[in-house]
A and B are shown apart, each in its own frame.
Chain A
Amino acid sequence: MADLSTVIHNIKLKNPVLTASGTFGYGVEFDDFFDVNLLGGFIVKGTTIHPRQGNSYPRMAETSAGMLNAVGLQNAGAQYFANEIYPKLTKYETNVLVNVSGSTVEEYVACAEIINELDHIAGIELNISCPNVKEGGMAFGTSCPSAAAVVSAVRKVYKKTMVVKLSPNVTDIAEIGKAAEGAGADSLSLINTVLGMAINAETRKPVLSTITGGLSGPAVKPIALRMVWQVSQAVKIPIIGLGGIMNATDAIEFFLAGASAIQVGTANFIDPLATVKIIDGIDDYLNRHKISAISELIGCLHL
């Protein structure tokens, strides 16, 4: 057994496999399938200060090697999370992070303040990249000044590890990554979904109620790999890579591109056991290549 442990700022992960927000519910939905404690950690559904109904339906379109979603951050709000859901998460021994989103800087700050009081939450993932909300979300993640503004404001109130989740819908993601790092991010996760669209030729209508939505799945993996590579060249803080990871080989590619950990997202929908298979597969890869620790692989792309 190789050493799969990795570190994201102050969070020690026993293995580098996390789950992407919005694809793993609150963890408890997977209890029937496997012991969630086997994961390096998991990131719960995007949480906002006020409850959100999300977008109307249809919210999903299957596409070639992927899917579009337009959920729009449906959640019951940070206070409900703290009172009703958080107590169910304290049973987990692995790391639990909360994805935090908002429409204004003040909303991000208020939400982060509530999460900051929850001892068992290892960190937050600041979502400045959701493409499916009318206000805020991705708007914060597509310019350096607005990204820096929200990151530095949350930094003042949030004391533990703050990961900032970046949007791929930008011209230069490395610049946004540097702005987030400069404003106090402890780590960066990338990529969120790629803005896309599906059309029904027969009805001549868009498939999604919101017309556009976020593309995920294997279709986005080459984009995600390129962006992890570019950002890893530009910042010093650890990177969590995600985007279309379906198996251990995909995960290895992200480590080589510079990610210290990875998130499995859309794969959870198709195979609820994808994460545990990926953990086993990473171990197999390291043994096969006689590499004793995952840390020896991170950013070690042969050029």
Chain B
Amino acid sequence: MQMRKSVQNLKVIANLQLNEDHHLLKLLVPDQLENIVPGQFANILVDQSQSIFLRRPFSIHTVDYQNNIISILIKEVGEGTRSLAHAQVDSYLNVIFPLGNGFSIPKSNEKVLLVGGGCGVAPLLHLAQFLSGNLNSINILLGARSVGDLVELDQYSIYGKVFTTTEDGSHGEKGFVTDHSIFDLAIDSFTKIYCCGPEPMMKAVAARAKASSVDCEVSLENTMACGFGVCLCCVTETIQGHKCVCTDGPVFNINQLKWQI
């Protein structure tokens, strides 16, 4: 059964610094975890800050059903993320989760490509974890500015074949993810592309997918006040009008979006 959303105080049981600005928080969930769909997110209260008023949304990065642990990948970009990235072990975070709709999961054995860039890689580890249980052929393409920005490559490689690009050529192929040779060599062989990252990157990937008629889902980001569909602040333009990124998404099929690609 899919887990219902709730507000919970989760204990920080580990806070691992992955590189200069990325932290991995492991949060213990008191009750038995039910199914969380890859791509769903958590909205976390920033308690220690005077100037941060609203919660901060993060993709659920991994789910450990055996030990009732979810992990959150946090990149420090502002005061809110900085405060959360330095959460003390044994402290508690107030979290609303799981929120939103996740990626659609193929029923049968399919060949899929996961493309992530920057902090947008966050939901893809959970997705890779989940898809590997379905015996899918999983290919993961991760892009970053430089080798130091690529985190947890060993974790992704547990579930699939990992490819990388860096803008400075310090790891994998040089350039953006869409410059990777996999697009020219093998894009037709994928039944589905899942993508998460900065919007220009997702649009570029979506354009390649569309040109090759490969089904493609993207996970969008937007400023949101509530995260559960009542403030109507985080809308995006779709073929059915304005839709909330938080409840109608964050994952959308590119056919639903009005992107000029």
Q: Report A's interface with B, CB cutoff 8 A.
A: 22-25, 29-30, 32-33, 45, 53-54, 56-67, 69, 71, 74, 217, 266, 268-273
Contacts and interface: CB of A to CB of B under 8 A. Distances in A.
B230 A29 contact: yes
Contact of A60 (B51, B224, B241): B224
A89 to B, nearest CB: 15
A157 to B, nearest CB: 28
B226 A268 contact: yes
Contacts of B6: 32-33
Nearest to B53: A62
Centre residue among B5, B94, B242 by max chain A CB count within 10 A: B242
Report whether over half of chain B's contact residues are helix, strand or loop; otherwise say mixed.
loop
Contacts of B124: none
Interface string B45-87: 1000001111100000000000000000000000000000000
B160 to A, nearest CB: 33
Given A32-B6, A270-B54, A270-B55, A24 B224 contact: no
**SS class, residues of chain A in contact with chain B:** loop
Contacts of A268: 226, 230
B54 A32 contact: no
Given A22-B230, A69-B233, 6 more contacts: A54-B242, A64-B51, A69-B225, A69-B231, A266-B225, A272-B96
A32 B98 CA distance: 11
Contacts, number: 88
Contacts of A217: 53
Contact of B7 (A57, A64, A271): A271
Interface string B228-247: 11111111110001100000
A57 B235 contact: yes
Top 4 closest A-B pairs, CB basis? A60-B233, A25-B230, A269-B226, A269-B225
B223 interface: yes
13 contacts: A23-B230, A45-B232, A62-B223, A67-B53, A69-B231, A71-B232, A74-B242, A269-B55, A269-B227, A270-B53, A270-B54, A271-B7, A272-B228
A24 B230 contact: yes
A57 B236 contact: yes
B107 interface: no
Interface of B: 4-7, 45, 51-55, 94, 96, 222-237, 241-242
A63 B7 contact: no
Contacts of B51: 64
B238 to A, nearest CB: 11
Nearest to B5: A32
Contacts of B230: 22-25, 29-30, 268-269
Contacts of A69: 225, 231, 233
Nearest to A23: B230
B225 A54 contact: no
B7 A273 contact: yes
A29 B235 contact: no
Contacts of A59: 232-235
A33 B232 contact: no
Contacts of A67: 53-54, 225
Contacts of A64: 51, 53
